[in-house]
Structure 1
Amino acid sequence: MTAAAFTAAQWTRATGAGVDPHEYRRVTEGLTSVADWGPSLLRTGHAHLERAEKAESSVSAGEHLLMAARWFHLATLTHDGEAQRAAAEADDALNRSLTLLEPGARRVTGEGFTGWLRGPTGAPGTVVVVPGLDSAKEEFLDLASALLARGLAVFIMDGPGQGVLAATTTLRPDYEQVVGRVVDALGITRVGLVGLSLGGYFAARAAALEPRVAAVATVSGPFRLDWEQLPPPVRDIMARRTGGDAAARDFARQVDLTALAPRIAAPLLVVDGGQDVIPGVTNGEPLARTAPHGTYLSVPHGDHLLGNARPDWLPHLADHMAHTLRGAPA
């Protein structure tokens, strides 16, 4: 793939993650090779770190650090030799930003997960944001902001094989075990889950098997995967994140919600983009149809993760989580 094609393919994902579209164009328009992506985005992240050092207020410093975290995360998307370093820098920038901007935020780490608990102590509900195949807690900060604006507490996390944990762990299909440990560590009795991309499968599976899940939403989540039809780049990422081709094949085989969907007791919102067509991936309509309390929202012009259509789904999803969790013990 050419550099131009790669940067065009990442356009809505990057802007959906919250980077400035004009800065994205400036940073990427001169790339001559996909190999230039990581180093270029790392430099951009470091430029925001320099702005943070020179900032005249802690708020400005924190905002620059938050933007640096986004750029560092996006630098991991080529999965080259710089990816591990970029993930660590994203994690560090996020840590520093939340320390400045949200003194009440709390880092919580346990077996197979790490993340930040944000929001009011007496929130009416807590939402765990679950990333996907090659996403991380730094990618969905705008989603977290929408949930926080509705008075909810939010736990943004990396699980096994994700974000800063990708260097030392591998993806696992039984994500309900991870969610259970998160709920225990947060000390809550009920939780909402929002899963994005492959995280949609993780969230739906956890909702079926973890009784403390009281609300759930998926965005561009797969209902089922067919390894033989998956595009080679997706297979390569899955092999890298699971520990090899055989492990990836086995992982993909287990991504199937046919038997689990009817067991999801919590209110479920399934969001898909009509332009999200990935070979080997069954979109979420069967999940919404077979779950007892499923609702389906398909945005015709939306792409994968619907970064090009956020007004069409993000407020609705945030309201769904707030309305469902309102009054539930936090």
Structure 2
Amino acid sequence: MSAPEFAAAQWTRATGAGVDPHEYRRVTEGLASVADWGPSFLRTGHAHLERAESAATPASAGEHLLMAARWFHLATLAPYPEAGRAAAAADRALSRALTVLESGARRVSGEGFTGWLRGPADAPGTVVVVPGLDSAKEEFLDVVSALLARGLAVFAMDGPGQGVLAATTTLGPDYERVVGRVVDALGVARIGLVGLSLGGYFAARTAALEPRVAAVATVSGPFRLDWEQLPAPVRDIMARRTGGAEAARAFAGQVDLSALAPRIAAPLLVVDGGQDVIPGVTNGEPLARRAPHGTYLSVPHGDHLLGNARPDWLPRLGDHIGHALTGGSADGGS
């Protein structure tokens, strides 16, 4: 794939993550090949760090640090020998930003997870945001903001094989064990769960197996994977994140919610983009249909992660989780 093709493919994902579209175009138009992606994005992140250092106010410094975190994370989306360094830089930038901007934000880490707990100490509910195959806690700051705006506490995490932990751990299917340890560490009786992309599978699986999940939403999450049909780039990423081709094949074979969907007792919102068509991936409609309290929202013009359609689903997702955790009607009564 050429650099322009790769940049076009990542366009809505990057802008949906919150980077300025004009800056994205300036950076990607200068790429001679996909191999230049990581170094260019890393340089852009460092430019935002420099702006943070010279910022006149803590608010401006924090904003630049959040933007740096986004660029550092996006540097990892193309094959890049320094991906671990970029993920670590994203983690540091996010940590610095939250230290500057939110005195109550708290780092929470444990076996197989790390992340930031944000929001009021007396929040009526706590939500855990789960990333996917090659995403990380730095990618979904807008989702976190939507949940925080509804008065909820939010824990945005990296799990095994994700984000800053990708360099030292590998992805596995039994994510419910990780979330169980997260809930223990947070010290709450129940949680809401939002999973994005492969994180949608993790969230649905966890909701079926972890009784403390009281509300769940998935965004572009797979119902089932077929290894033989998956595009080569997806298989390559999965091999890197799981520890090799055979591990990746075995992992993909376990991604099937057929038996687990009927066991999801919590109110469930499943969000899909109508333009999200990836060979070997069965989208979430069967999950919503088989879950006892499932609601399906398909946005016809939405692509994978629906970065091109935020207003069509993000407010509804926030309301769904908020209502379910605070005693209102799930999904706003729909």
TM range (shorter): over 0.9
Map 1:239-318 → 2, pairs under 5 A? 239-318=239-318
SS in 2 for 1:157: strand
- Partner in structure 1 of residue 116 of structure 2: 116
Amino acid at match of 2:238: M
Cα distance, 1:34 vs. partner? Answer: 0.3
SS in 1 for 2:270: strand
Distance 1:62 1:80 in 2: 27
**1:122-158 alpha-carbon deviations (Å, 9 max, x no partner):** 1010000000000000000011000000100000000
Corresponding position: 1:145 with 2:145: yes
State the Cα distance separating 1:82 from its structure 2 match: 1.6
Q: Please list every run of at least 4 consecutive aligned residues from structure 1 whose deviation after the TM superposition is greater than 3 angstroms.
A: none
State whether structure 2 residue 163 is matched by structure 1 residue 177: no
- Hey, what does 1:168 align to over in structure 2? 168
Q: What's the secondary structure of 1:96's corresponding residue?
A: helix
Q: What residue in structure 2 maps to residue 209 of structure 1?
A: 209
Corresponding letter in the other structure for 2:137: K
Is 2:58 the counterpart of 1:58? Answer: yes
Please tell me whether residue 223 in structure 1 is matched to residue 254 in structure 2: no
Q: Is the 8 A contact 2:130 2:195 kept in 1?
A: yes
1:33 corresponding residue in structure 2: 33
Report deviation, 1:80.
1.2
For 2:301, the aligned partner's letter is H
Offset at residue 30 of structure 1 (A): 1.4
1:74 equivalent in structure 2: 74
Is the CA contact 1:130–1:196 (under 8 Å) kept in the aligned structure 2? yes
> Normalising to structure 2: TM-score of the pair?
0.98
Residues 190-244 of structure 1: CA deviation (Å, up to 9, x unaligned): 0000000000000000000000000000000000000000000000000000000
> 5+ residue gaps in structure 2?
329-334
Q: Over residues 279-326 of structure 1, what are the superposed CA-to-partner deviations in whole Å (9 max), with x where a residue is unaligned?
A: 000000000000000000000000000000000000000010111101
The answer (yes or no) to whether the contact 1:124–1:327 under 8 Å persists in 2 is: no
Question: Which residue is 1:154 aligned to?
Answer: 154
User: What is the distance in 2 between the residues matched to 1:276 and 1:4?
Assistant: 20
1:327 Cα deviation (Å)?
Answer: 4.5
Aligned residues: 328
Alpha-carbon separation, structure 2, partners of 1:265 and 1:196: 20
What SS is found at the alignment partner of 1:114? Answer: strand
| 2-structure distance, mates of 1:23, 1:311 | 22
Percent identity, aligned pairs only, is 85
Amino acid at match of 1:249: R
Q: Structure 1: which 5+ runs fail to align?
A: none
Cα distance, 1:79 vs structure 2: 2.8
Q: What residue identity is the alignment partner of 1:286?
A: P
